[in-house]
Amino acid sequence: MKHTLIVLFGLLLTFSGAGTAESTPDERKDSAAGKTLHWAGCGITKKAFMKELAVAYEKIYGVHFVLEGGGATKGIRRVKDRNVNIGGSCRPKIAGAPEERFVRMTPVAWDALVVMVHKDNPVSNISLRQVKELYEGKITNWKELGGNDAPIELLIRKGKISGVGLTLRQLVWGNPDQEFKGSAEYPSSGPLEKAVVENPNAIGISGISSASKRDVKLLALEGKIPNYENIKAGHYLLYRPLYITYMSRNNPQLKEIKRFISFALSKKGREIIRSQGVVPYLDGIDLSSKLKAQRKTVRDMQEQHMRKKETEKKTQENAKK
């Protein structure tokens, strides 16, 4: 609880002077009407709240946003290179990476990794163990997951530092270098999601903030449906923050960027985010203190599975004697 209050106070203190949705007419007149901010980042963050927040912000302050996708890594590194004014990311910075040094990241919402299949797929639930074995290439047929007798086509993100790919590796394996054995690779989440829509044998993982807007079936994980209530309460595993990224050093747009972040964290901003079925960061502030517990839960489940496998192996060996 103490950690939660510190995080909440820190966010409010940082952006309290930047302006809010409840601005006065004079404040609106003082805004730089006609100004444009160029945003780039992960498509999941873009679909989660950026489009709607940008439209609402322009109506209030007259500041237009140019929105460009490209992935979480671009949402950090293009900001660092000052190719864009502001960005979005669905993963934290990589420790020690000079390409991401000095970039500021403010959490604005909560997302969750969800397993997507074709809408006609009979499978409705998957366990964390099955996700692990699927990506390790140990599960290759749908009948192993309770589905039809057909080969599984696992669709994965290209590289290991995408928002989805890195988060999945960290939360499920605790290893950012874990290899995935997929059938096809995609440069970003959008094309991957579209491929699941079209392929009856496909399966993939993306963020719920964008996947929920596709014509796909989202599987329950460990019996928990990936919905707003379960994510907000921390019942659904594999959740993560969505960030706004920016540079604070020698940034002529810093005041405007901070005002936008303040707007996103304000009552009006949270209403807009919530209307998209996404959990505002301040609504699920307790989740920040549960992330460590979530990782421990994943590790415990993995260890339990390993012990079970060892017991079964010993039982089989004894039976042969």
For domain 2-110+239-291, give the CATH number: 3.40.190.10
Provide the pLDDT for residue 307. 77
Provide the pLDDT for residue 243. 97
Which residue type sits at 33? A
Instruction: Calculate ∠ Cα 15-21-22, nearest 5°.
Output: 105
- Contact between 270 and 114 under an 8 Å Cβ cutoff? The reply is no
- Contact between 280 and 269 under an 8 Å Cβ cutoff? The reply is yes
Helix axes 254-265, 51-61, angle to 10 degrees: 110
Residue 243 is encoded by which pair of tokens? 């960030």
Provide the pLDDT for residue 105. 97
pLDDT in tens, 200-245: 999 999 999 899 999 999 999 999 999 999 999 989 989 899 999 9
For residue 305, CA distances in Å to 116, 135, 146, 266 come to 24, 16, 19, 44
Provide the pLDDT for residue 64. 96
Instruction: Calculate ∠ Cα 227-275-243, nearest 5°.
Output: 80
Residues of the chain with CATH 3.40.190.10: 2-110+239-291, 112-235
SS3 202: strand
Provide the pLDDT for residue 15. 60
Question: Tens place of pLDDT for every residue, the chain, 321 residues?
Answer: 444 444 444 555 456 544 444 444 444 444 455 599 999 999 999 999 999 999 999 999 999 999 999 899 999 999 999 999 999 999 999 989 999 999 999 999 999 999 999 999 999 999 999 999 999 999 999 999 999 999 999 999 999 999 999 999 988 998 899 999 999 999 989 999 999 999 999 999 999 989 999 999 999 999 999 999 999 998 998 989 999 999 999 999 999 999 999 999 999 999 999 999 999 999 987 887 776 666 666 666 656 666 777 787 788 878 776
Which residue type sits at 257? I
Provide the pLDDT for residue 267. 97
Which residue type sits at 121? N
- Contact between 109 and 48 under an 8 Å Cβ cutoff? The reply is yes
Provide the pLDDT for residue 20. 42
Mean pLDDT over all residues of the chain? 87
Provide the pLDDT for residue 143. 97
Rg from Cα positions in the chain: 21
The whole-angstrom separation of Cα 211 and Cα 164 is: 12
The whole-angstrom separation of Cα 136 and Cα 140 is: 10
112-235: CATH topology: D-Maltodextrin-Binding Protein; domain 2 (3.40.190)
